[in-house]
Chains A and B, each alone.
Chain A
Amino acid sequence: MLNRKLFKNARLLDPSTGLDQIGSVLIRDGKIEDIGPKVFIDTTQEDIEVEDCGGKCIAPGLVDMRVTTGEPGSGHLETLETVSKAAVAGGITTIVCLPNTEPVIDDMALLEFIERRGAEVGLINIKSYAAATKGSLGEEMSELGLLYHAGAIGFTDGDKAISNPMVMRRLLSYSTVFNSIVLQHPEVADLVADGVMSEGLTATRLGLSGIPPVAEVIMIERDLRLVELTGGRYHVSRVTTKAGIEAIRKAKKSGLSVTCDTAPHYFALNEDAVIDYRTFAKVSPPLRSEIDRIAVLEGIEDGTIDAIASDHTPRDQDSKRLPFDQAAFGVVGLETLLCVTLEAVHNGSVSLLKALGAVTVNPSKILGLEAGELIAGRDADFVIFDMSVAGRIQAENFYSKCKNSPFDGRPVQGRVLKTIRSGKVVFDSNPIG
């Protein structure tokens, strides 16, 4: 039989089992057949393709739990095809799309559309959230049950906070029927008002209106009370402040069903990245102070922050080359997720398996996906990467249609060599050699 392939002499890294050892992965028909330091194969029996990884790392294909695409509605920004190409270039084999498309994904037909288009492209596993409220207007609950059965991974209004506490209460309460999860954009909109960056000295110097950091913790603390009341499953999307992380840490200790993620820019950059009115560093929630940045790293290391998502938000030049006030929020991140996360490992802030867990098994477990683990019987989704090779991020080389990265030109260590999805090489950084 063909379709068996052995990747040998690799540093196997699986955060789900704590595996960090030189070994091999054997795949058959798109599944992992065996993995470990000693994989038995009888080469006399059959002809097996063998690839020597030369000691490079193999980790589960990354799971990115927060991706904005342009499909449907804004294909000029990103299609499911370009998003897939960008994802595999970043070692990502599973993405979960936000419902804030045009139209908003609050209907079963739209979920089916995403699934069908994703399968057509066929490079990665594409899942989608559904809008928590109809049209993401924050007023009426979407058809959670129908959407859940149509494949919605969770419920969120994307980059809009679910502001009305009554709506939030009902969402958390009703979603327990399916044991589904509600994801919140943690900001009190009235406190954000017309703010464009984090409040503080830098905003004052630049004459930009500030977003007070307390806007985050107030929303998180309110919601945690509702979680306590309803027993719902609650996830904070992009926690960015020390106070917000502290609130979640406490809630976890007291046993509440709460999880959270952050994004690489919240631990690799601080508010000073917007000095000179750099609109490519304009994100929502905004980049915070150095104290908050360090708190995010500590949160990842101690497990308070479960996941790191790219928060990939494609924006074209026209929406970024504007005065700061008018420029759009958001950065692309699929192709920099792994290398910027590895930066936190290289500088000693986060251990390697912790960091990898935050981009593989943790988001997968939170969302109930079968991904992010190197286990026999699972789809052979993994990434081969070089931990230490030095290079620079070059946005112009991105597969993503949009190049709005705040990391353009940043020196990094670590590079994706190959991405394997269901046993097939879907990305090869060096296709000839």
Chain B
Amino acid sequence: MALMTNPTDIQQENSPVYSYRHLLSIEGLSRFDIEKLLDLADEYVETNRQADKKHAILRGRTLINMFFENSTRTRTSFELAGKRLGGDVINMSVSSSSIKKGETLIDTAMTLNAMHPDVLVVRHADSGSVHLLAEKVNCSVINAGDGSHEHPTQALLDALAIRRRLGRGLEGLIVAICGDIAHSRVARSNIHLLSIMGARVRAVAPPTLIPEGLERLGVEVHHNMSSGLKDADIIMMLRLQTERMKGSYVPSIREYYELYGLNSNKLKMAKPDALIMHPGPMNRGVEIDSELADDIDRSLIREQVEMGVAVRMACLQALVDNQTVPWAKNQS
């Protein structure tokens, strides 16, 4: 049900790409919503490869990047996306914000809201915080990662990278998500998105890193790499999020690498042409062998970064288009 229209057509027809006011989570979206966003992003991948990458879709609009957690690639990606669409982009990082002076999240949101931004892109260390903020502002909000909850644009860019490389949809693919599922917002968004799109999702990790009740999301849970990677089409490696861990979840880094790190030996269990993905930043020698990460044929890691900009341009366009139509729903 690909809707092949180019971005400008969509504006002219004023037809909805995405009918919600915010993008807070993948959970709650339909297959149709996701496909339309991916189709739109596909267009931007092409225009981003041209010398002139500039559009006017966001002209006169203001995008504020609010990152309460450190980030390089996601923040830069949103910044580029906003600028390529012709918007004004402001970056706020936690070190320069008044959050450190004891202002609450809601106060900060209200202050920024008074400046009439059109889109807020928010990353925060607490699950649900972006949701809370979205309730208090008039503009659209994009969740750029909240605690261990969701990181929707990451899942969208992962899907786009797979779709483009394989030249097909995600139905029936076996996707193994490996590593620190418990603390990963990327894992949650991907589990929802892949399930919605008809892929078979596996979670591969030691039991201490598998959150309770995960199998009830339709995920096959594996505790060792050989069964988890067996016949997999896609292997998504996750970073050990030591900053979110209280206490020890694995005995040591070297044991973790030995049992759960991806190397060429373990990779043999997967399909011969299986692809490797990683949301970054990578810990080489912890969850992934350095050589594999750099293997152009097997690794999608660089494409993921490229897709990131295109997907975020699509999301920004979809939300801004929506602000002019009266039927935009409130949530999600």
Q: Which residues on A are within 8 Å of B, measured CB to CB?
A: 193-194, 199-210, 212, 276-277, 318, 321-326
Contacts and interface: CB of A to CB of B under 8 A. Distances in A.
B126 A325 contact: yes
Contact of A207 (B127, B213, B216): B127
Given A194-B246, A318-B104, A207 B212 contact: no
Contacts of B129: 323
Interface in B115-134: 124, 126-129, 131-132
A321 B106 contact: yes
A329 to B, nearest CB: 15
Contact of A200 (B131, B149, B150, B213): B213
Contacts of B36: none
Contacts of B147: 207-208, 323, 325
Interface size class of B (residues with CB under 8 A): 20 to 34
A321 B126 CA distance: 13
Interface in B1-47: 27
Interface centre among A276, A324, A326, by most B CB within 10 Å?
A324
A321 B146 CA distance: 17
A29 B185 CA distance: 66
Nearest to A324: B128
B148 interface: yes
B132 A205 contact: no
B167 interface: no
Nearest to A278: B128
B173 interface: no
Given A321-B104, A323-B128, A324-B126, A206 B217 contact: no
Contacts of A194: 246
Contacts of A201: 212-213, 216-217
A207 B214 CA distance: 11
Main secondary structure of the interface of A (DSSP, over half): loop
A21 to B, nearest CB: 50
B247 interface: yes
Contacts of B212: 199-201, 203-204, 210, 212
Contacts of B214: 204
A404 to B, nearest CB: 16
Interface string B208-245: 00011110110000000000000000000000000000
Contact of A323 (B27, B126, B216, B217): B126
A206 B128 CA distance: 7
A193 B127 CA distance: 17
B80 interface: no
Given A206-B128, A208-B148, 9 more contacts: A193-B247, A200-B212, A201-B217, A202-B213, A205-B27, A207-B150, A212-B212, A322-B104, A323-B147
Given A199-B212, A201-B213, A207 B149 contact: yes
Contacts of B131: 276-277
A266 B57 CA distance: 51
B105 interface: yes
Nearest to B187: A207
B85 to A, nearest CB: 29
Given A204-B212, A277-B127, A323 B188 contact: no
